[in-house]
Amino acid sequence: MPEDFDALNRVMDGRYSCRGFRPEPVPEEVTRRIVETAGKAASWCNAQPWRVVVTQGDETERFRSALLEEVAGGKPGPDLAWPEDYPGVYGERRRTCGYQLYSAVGIDRKDRAARAEQAMRNFHLFDAPHVAIVHSEAKLGAYGAHDCGEFVLGFMLAATAQGVATVAQASVAGYADFIRGHFGLDDSRMVLCAISFGYEDPDHPANAFRTERAKVRELLDLRG
């Protein structure tokens, strides 16, 4: 129905990567509804490989502190290899996003120290009261990771529809061994993504910009 399409578009338009959160927690029932909705995502052979650890209260603070300590003394080792490069337009979009963020928070793009400090905000979880760790069965490989991508999108859209802000973070998932140890996950679980979430701080300067979207003509190759 057109009304459903319009509603979906409003939610898609409303989702963005929040980088400044208020401290008040999301009610547990709202979190459960978000995960329940995200769990309706499609998956290869209906495997539904996604599992998610969600922290709240003191658990978030314990994880945040331990993560910062790990980052200070360790090296990242993601389960899912990060891109080797961002060629062409992909690199242009990446740089534009970075410059937009630096501009919003008042960082000169040549100020390497300030840029590094801003990057560390990832591991503070942008002060979010919650973080979700999405993990999959490692033996499912790329297909399990693909399926979990659908779950991540479902999570973020469901959260947006509930008035909850999110930011997906590959940087946090880069410390996969630490995350497995901290949460007692089995070695067979592949850590794919972190999603920090909570209620946005509308006055935080990092939340003042929105990334551009590619035009349909750049995405669609319509044949016949």
pLDDT tens-digit series, residues 50-86: 999 999 999 999 999 999 999 999 899 999 999 999 9
| Dist. CA 157–CA 46, nearest whole Å | 21
Contacts of 59 (CB under 8 A, 6+ apart): none
Specify the pTM: 0.95
Q: Collect the ranges in the chain with pLDDT lower than 50.
A: none
Cα→Cα distances 124→21, 25, 75, 155, 184, Å: 11, 16, 17, 21, 21
Supply 139's token pair: 């033996």
Give me the pLDDT at residue 2, please.
Answer: 85
Smallest CA-to-CA distance from 163 within 55, 30, 53 is with 30
Smallest CA-to-CA distance from 182 within 131, 112, 141, 146 is with 131
